[in-house]
A and B are shown apart, each in its own frame.
Chain A
Amino acid sequence: MAEAIIDQAATPVADEHHEGHYTSLGLSNMKLAMWLFLGSEVLLFGALISTYLLSKTRFLTELVAGNPEVVAGISNDENAELVNEMITKGSVEPLFDIPFTSLSSFILLMSSLTMVLAHKSVTEGNYKNLRIWLSTTMLLGATFMAGQVYEFTTFYREGLTYDGSLLGTAFYTLTGFHGAHVTGGLIMLGSLIYLSFKGRMQKDRAETVELVGLYWHFVDIVWVLIFTIVYLIH
């Protein structure tokens, strides 16, 4: 649609000959908009990550200090060992399963690669590979989400409930939000695949793939942050 408006009436004929359209910066509107949107997402995730860090710190301080409410909030019948370990280490590390989360990170990174390959394929007009890479990206993303489901279930079973502790609330909110973004990306990828099979995702539409890619990579970047800040720096 952008072209409709930018269709600068001053040179209506010339417009038919080149693909790109006049924009002041020589950049595509959609791409610019996507970057602006991502910029605002940076502030969103920044706030969520900060909230998590603060909450975790406060939680640990209280836990180590033995605040009975906080201890009760994280304890269930079976996890005395875990809670003890958290208290003695003064860290949430005992909760985490770093090997598994590393796998998750790896999967998401891999999906970034396949995403960028998808974009490459569409610019080259290789629609078969476009579909293959898009589908792979989507499947990898879904695998990542499966990992999240798994992880949430495990944590929940281990005593980290959403409403029981500050840590639980903050952790599930942050990772849940990231998960929601991944899900959004999956839906976009699904649409691309659908359109591609309908023959509507051709070379001249490469930018759409790129846009979805931008979003996807951004979600990946956020995970890079979460993985390091939340999981590794426990």
Chain B
Amino acid sequence: MAIVEQEPLALPAGEPSRSARPLGVFSRPRNTTGLKNWLTSVDHKKIGIMYGVASLFFLLWGGVPALLIRLQLARPNQGLLSGDAYNQIFTMHGTVMVFLVVMPMGAAFANYLLPLQIGARDVAFPRINAFSFWVFLAGGIMLNTSWFLGGGPDGGWFNYAPNNGIAYSPGIGIDFWNVALMIAGFGSLTGAVNLITTVLNMRAPGMTWMRLPVFTWMTLVTQFLLLFAIPVLTVAQLLLLFDRRFDGNFFNVAQGADPLLWQHLFWIFGHPEVYLMILPAFGIVSEVIPAFARKPIFGYPFMVFSGIAIGFMGWGVWAHHMFVSGIGPLSVTAFAVATMFIAVPTGVKVLNWMATLWGGKLILNTAMLFSIGLVTQFTLGGLSGVSHAIAPADTQQTDTYYIVAHFHYVLFGGALFGFYSGLYFWWPKAFGYKLNEKIGKWNFWTMVLGFNLTFGPMHILGLQGMPRRMQTYDTSQGFNTWNMWATIGSFILAFATLSILYNALVSYLGWRRAGRPNPGPDPWDARSLEWSIQSPTPEHNFDVTPTVTSLDDWWYHKYQEDENGVLRRVASSKELAQPGNGEGVHLPAPSYWPIIVAFSLPIIGYGLIFSLWLCIPGVFLLLAAMYGWSLEPADDLDQDHHSEPEPELAQTHG
């Protein structure tokens, strides 16, 4: 796979460019705007935005089932959803939220920001980048088509064996879950390879390890987690695929199989997965808080190393999801203790953020509020996490709403709050206008209210014994009151979740009405390199690759300490920022192949589910497209370069 991006498969060096301009789809896409451009773009910024749009869409799409769950559970013995429908709905809710919302949202920020923060022109492999996105989207769409093609998966998001077997889930929903996530996972994997290479190899001169912005660091750790975790999930899914589709026996107890194998494989992936969901948000917060506290991040090295530590420790705790699975007291002991200690590096992060707030001059705009929101809400979720780590206590807590409360506090109160913060923070960089602060504050406060009202009661419900994944309950169990509150909260939360879209719309219209004023390169007076270029980011990113001399280099271009050690502004952002004219800059050309390759995979996927015959055209298309890809030079040799009269520069690329 990896060789396809290789230029050597193109014309040899020095060979003059062909004069032919073939027709139709076989010529390279040239559009720089419009739908066709979005479909064929290899620009990391456009891809980042597409990731963002897709995951926001899926947030709503995954929120609808959540609301249905809450409606069903608002009162005892409701009949809104049948058992079957309920099972599909919570499974899809969890799956969509994890795989199609939080993960791609992390990828959105990573894609948009990584090259900018390290001073690069694009990621290492732009076409693979496009491929990663499209393959994620293809997988996501395919997963959701299950609704129309015979029913959604009903195994829960961790889909334990043998309940996921064909005997217990005879529909095709689980096959969709299986195959579609395998496809989406492939995108994450290629994305990880790409982004790691980018960070390792494409940093601007002087951008040493200890000068990387914290967000970049956290994303790097995240991508390593993906790189190593995805294949484990893939294997679990392959085993399931072979069991379900080809009568394998991996989870066939009658043949001596042990169903716990699935749990081990899934959670070896699953636990790193939860950290890779939170680390990008941690990175975002570590950028936002210093910017608006107007002081550097407290304890940069500790922030970095605790992130790395979380990444490593995340690999040693998976069986805390299996405390009651019967893995034996020795394993339980080991994993319980290991799990508890993950609170240490995480605590370092939390306390360092607090120390950054300490003595700062805080500008409490929406982005900052959401970041502080993360610090508080995540901590609550983390603390309940530690209480799960007390294995004996977890035998009471596991599979109750107490767990549901925990993971919504860390996922929504952590990851999503962080992402919202990031959206408000980087919106002007990406789109050239700020989001409305007033609506933003509404957004934040309704979110905090709705969030705590929804998930706070779940702590109590869980400890009062309400199991999760319950289609309904009885009055005699005493769950009525808090469930009602949670349902009310969830609608406030839905309103809050939606309001960022409303905000975007209102802000855009207002901005247009005001004659599209430019917010300037550095609207927040922030610290990292992406603020040293114009907003919205020019297509080529940097006119001139910056040379970095310190952490927060951009900040120290603007401000320097005078002889008294007092920080003084030496120049304005406007003067310092790169003007954004990309003379002579050579950009990778758009390509059709990534999207074609990406969408050939679901064809194979449908084939695996419905009829193997369908795999034949799928594989055919895949092979052909991969070949087309590798024969296509990464640069469009025929294309004129930006404002350069003589078309051919190809020969310089040996």
Contacts and interface: CB of A to CB of B under 8 A. Distances in A.
A174 B125 CA distance: 31
Contacts of A195: 8-9
Contacts of B125: 1-2, 29, 33
B588 A191 contact: no
B257 A166 contact: yes
Interface in A32-51: 32-34, 36-37, 39-41, 43-44, 47-48, 51
A141 B229 CA distance: 30
Contacts of A19: 654
A201 B627 CA distance: 16
Contacts of A8: 121, 545
A199 B542 CA distance: 37
B2 A37 contact: yes
Nearest to B546: A10
A133 interface: no
Contact of B588 (A1, A23, A173, A188): A1
Contacts of A215: 2-3
Bin chain B's interface residue count: 35 or more
A41 B8 CA distance: 24
B592 to A, nearest CB: 15
B350 interface: no
Interface in A1-34: 1-10, 12, 15-16, 19, 22-25, 27, 29-30, 32-34
Given A4-B586, A37-B2, A41-B231, A24 B202 contact: yes
A201 B190 CA distance: 26
Contacts of A184: 1
Contacts of B542: 9
A31 to B, nearest CB: 10
B57 to A, nearest CB: 29
A170 B196 CA distance: 33
A199 to B, nearest CB: 7
B12 interface: yes
Interface string B1-20: 11101111111110000000
Which residue, of B235, B243, B256, B652, has the highest number of chain A Cβ atoms within 10 A? B256
Interface stretch (A76-84, A94-102, A110-118, A206-214): A206-214
Given A24-B200, A200-B9, A173 B587 contact: no
B247 interface: yes
A43 B228 contact: yes
B587 A4 contact: yes
Which residue, of A27, A39, A169, has the highest number of chain B Cβ atoms within 10 A? A169
Contacts of A48: 235
Contacts of B343: none
B256 A16 contact: no
Bin chain A's interface residue count: 35 or more
B177 interface: no
Given A5-B121, A24-B207, A47-B231, A12 B248 contact: no
Interface in A103-145: none
Nearest to A199: B12
A169 B200 contact: no
Interface in B210-267: 227-232, 234-236, 238-239, 242-243, 246-250, 252, 254-258, 261, 265
B428 interface: no
Given A1-B125, A44-B235, A165 B194 contact: no
Interface stretch (B73-81, B352-360, B630-638): B630-638
B227 A40 contact: yes
B124 A173 contact: no
B460 interface: no
Contacts of B239: 51, 173
Nearest to A1: B634
B127 interface: yes
B543 interface: yes
A195 B239 CA distance: 37
B545 A24 contact: no
Given A9-B585, A199-B12, A39 B227 contact: yes
A165 B627 CA distance: 39
Contacts of B547: 10
B205 to A, nearest CB: 8
Contacts of A200: 8-12
A155 to B, nearest CB: 15
A149 interface: no
Interface in B71-122: 120-122
Contacts of A223: none
B99 to A, nearest CB: 18
Contact of B255 (A25, A62, A205, A207): A62
Contacts of A199: 12
Contact of B2 (A24, A166, A211): A211
A4 B193 contact: no
B197 interface: yes
Nearest to A18: B654
A37 B475 CA distance: 54
A71 to B, nearest CB: 11
A70 B255 contact: yes
A202 interface: yes
Nearest to B583: A9
Contacts of A208: 3, 6, 8-9
A227 B238 CA distance: 22
Interface in B390-437: none
Given A29-B124, A29-B197, A69 B231 contact: no
Nearest to A27: B201
A204 B13 contact: yes
Given A36-B196, A47-B265, A59-B256, A170 B250 contact: yes
B3 A188 contact: yes
A40 B243 CA distance: 24
Interface string B587-621: 11000000000000000000000000000000000
Contacts of B585: 9
Contacts of A6: 121, 202
Given A200-B10, A207-B8, 4 more contacts: A2-B5, A7-B586, A61-B256, A215-B3
22 contacts: A1-B7, A1-B127, A4-B588, A9-B585, A12-B584, A19-B654, A23-B202, A24-B200, A29-B202, A30-B5, A32-B200, A36-B196, A40-B189, A47-B232, A51-B250, A163-B246, A166-B249, A169-B243, A200-B12, A204-B8, A204-B654, A211-B2
Query: 8 tightest CB-CB pairs across the interface, nearest first?
Result: A1-B634, A163-B247, A62-B256, A205-B8, A44-B231, A47-B235, A169-B248, A23-B201
